[in-house]
Chains A and B, each alone.
Chain A
């Protein structure tokens, strides 16, 4: 059975390794074959960008060679897919090759799309790529004080990032001894400071305590970069000296171009994780249209489910379990304290007060990630 994984990010990599271990014998005997097609020979630890933006890590710490993360039995090609031919169970790649599959998993991820908001690219800093995170850090270093506005696009990757960058900026300016010269102003699209009600109940008093101002029901309409004014759909204008955005995201262009899903999000069954209308095509991570956090942990737990299910399909012709919507997110609450939120489709999270212990566990996880990507953690 030919298993094709399109995308070498967190979801695709964990899944490929998970499957390779479950199908050791089948790979040896040729009963199964796993192929991964990726756009890059490098694998980036994307959550590390948050730390890069405040000068806590360097860019080289974000990367490993993708091939070094994969089990030996996996056929890895740096050759991104350009055309999906679902009716023929084939894809065509940038190099012009055609790959057949019996089962395909699409794990192409998402991309920031600040271009969707007029003035955003010119007016705001962000940290969702290495280039922008480095630029943001250099801007922060030169910043001498004023009003720092944090604003949040919809949809966005990493739902904790808006809070994390806000609290980390607070501590960054505190360490530089310039909190008296900086006013942090947080905005959020819905009627509380975070989508998760219990997280919002924890975060709003933290902001009050730290003197961070916030506006809710604030959806970005446009940025007047020349006059440094952020305008909302709700009709509110906010002046800023430094604007930092959690940018709006879209799925990958190849998904849109092939008509697999509007805005690059593929309609996906929320428990079986198959593409709607296709029994042999599965979707993992940000690429789905499931109404769930676009986060590495979502991709991780979906990949765990798919690993079990696809191995079971190879061995006995049927999947064995359903994805329950599990997500686990660390929440950095400054430079040296953190908490976490764990939830699924049925149970909301109940975050506790931040501690140093959770922060240090997160710092450890920043290294342990490479074990996680190998499908071992």
Chain B
């Protein structure tokens, strides 16, 4: 059954939210939804760009109090 996971990359300059997401995807199942939390606004561009490039599903991005919430689904 698909799960929803939070990848908390707030305050992470290195390795950073995208690298945290890449690591989290390795231990996720196809269909799992992952929500990345990031305090780096660059993540709002970098993460969807990479997700589309590699073939996962980008769902949406929202921002609240300086935290970006980027939702994706593992597709492969």
24 A-B pairs with CB atoms under 8 Å apart are: A154-B19, A154-B26, A155-B15, A159-B14, A189-B19, A190-B19, A190-B22, A191-B49, A191-B50, A196-B13, A196-B16, A219-B22, A234-B54, A262-B27, A263-B27, A291-B8, A291-B9, A291-B17, A292-B14, A325-B11, A327-B14, A341-B14, A345-B11, A348-B13
Whether A190 touches B18, Cβ cut-off 8 Å, given contacts A263-B27, A348-B13, is: yes
Nearest to A159 among chain B residues (CB) is: B14
* Cα A190 to Cα B15 with chains together (Å): 10
B23 proximal to A (CB < 8 A): yes
A233 proximal to B (CB < 8 A): yes
**B19 near A195: Cβ-Cβ < 8 Å:** yes
Q: Which residues of B contact A159 (CB under 8 A)?
A: 14-15
B19 shortest CB reach to chain A, Å: 6
Q: Which residues of A contact B54 (CB under 8 A)?
A: 217, 219, 233-234
Q: Which residues of B contact A196 (CB under 8 A)?
A: 13-14, 16
Mask of A316-358 contacts with B, CB within 8 angstroms, 1/0: 0000000001010000000000000101011011000000000
**A292 near B12: Cβ-Cβ < 8 Å:** yes
Whether A270 touches B42, Cβ cut-off 8 Å, given contacts A154-B23, A217-B50, A217-B53, is: no
B→A interface (CB under 8 Å)? 8-20, 22-23, 26-27, 42, 46, 49-50, 53-54
A→B interface (CB under 8 Å)? 116, 154-155, 159, 189-191, 195-197, 217, 219, 233-234, 262-263, 270, 291-293, 325, 327, 341, 343, 345-346, 348-349
Q: Which residues of B contact A346 (CB under 8 A)?
A: 11
* Cα A262 to Cα B53 with chains together (Å): 27
Nearest to B76 among chain A residues (CB) is: A233
Nearest to A232 among chain B residues (CB) is: B54
* Cα A325 to Cα B15 with chains together (Å): 12
Q: Which residues of B contact A154 (CB under 8 A)?
A: 15, 19, 22-23, 26
Q: Name 19 extra pairs, CB < 8 A, besides A190-B22, A233-B54, A327-B14.
A: A159-B15, A189-B18, A189-B22, A190-B16, A191-B18, A191-B49, A195-B19, A196-B13, A196-B16, A234-B54, A263-B27, A270-B11, A291-B9, A291-B11, A291-B17, A293-B14, A293-B15, A343-B14, A345-B11
Whether A349 touches B19, Cβ cut-off 8 Å, given contacts A219-B54, A234-B54, A291-B8, is: no
B9 shortest CB reach to chain A, Å: 5
Q: Which residues of B contact A327 (CB under 8 A)?
A: 14
Nearest to A190 among chain B residues (CB) is: B18
Q: Which residues of A contact B17 (CB under 8 A)?
A: 291
Q: Which residues of A contact B9 (CB under 8 A)?
A: 291
Whether A155 touches B23, Cβ cut-off 8 Å, given contacts A190-B46, A234-B53, is: yes
A200 shortest CB reach to chain B, Å: 11
A102 shortest CB reach to chain B, Å: 30
B73 shortest CB reach to chain A, Å: 16
Nearest to A155 among chain B residues (CB) is: B23
Q: Which residues of A contact B19 (CB under 8 A)?
A: 154-155, 189-190, 195
A243 shortest CB reach to chain B, Å: 20
Among B13, B17, B27, B53, chain A packs the most CB atoms within 10 A around the CB of B13
B50 shortest CB reach to chain A, Å: 6
* Cα A341 to Cα B15 with chains together (Å): 13
* Cα A191 to Cα B18 with chains together (Å): 9
Q: Which residues of B contact A270 (CB under 8 A)?
A: 11
Q: Which residues of B contact A291 (CB under 8 A)?
A: 8-12, 15-17, 20
* Cα A342 to Cα B1 with chains together (Å): 42
Among A195, A293, A327, A341, chain B packs the most CB atoms within 10 A around the CB of A195
* Cα A262 to Cα B17 with chains together (Å): 18
Q: Which residues of A contact B18 (CB under 8 A)?
A: 189-191
* Cα A145 to Cα B17 with chains together (Å): 37
Among A116, A154, A292, A348, chain B packs the most CB atoms within 10 A around the CB of A154
Q: Which residues of A contact B11 (CB under 8 A)?
A: 270, 291, 325, 345-346
Q: Which residues of A contact B27 (CB under 8 A)?
A: 262-263
Q: Which residues of A contact B53 (CB under 8 A)?
A: 217, 234
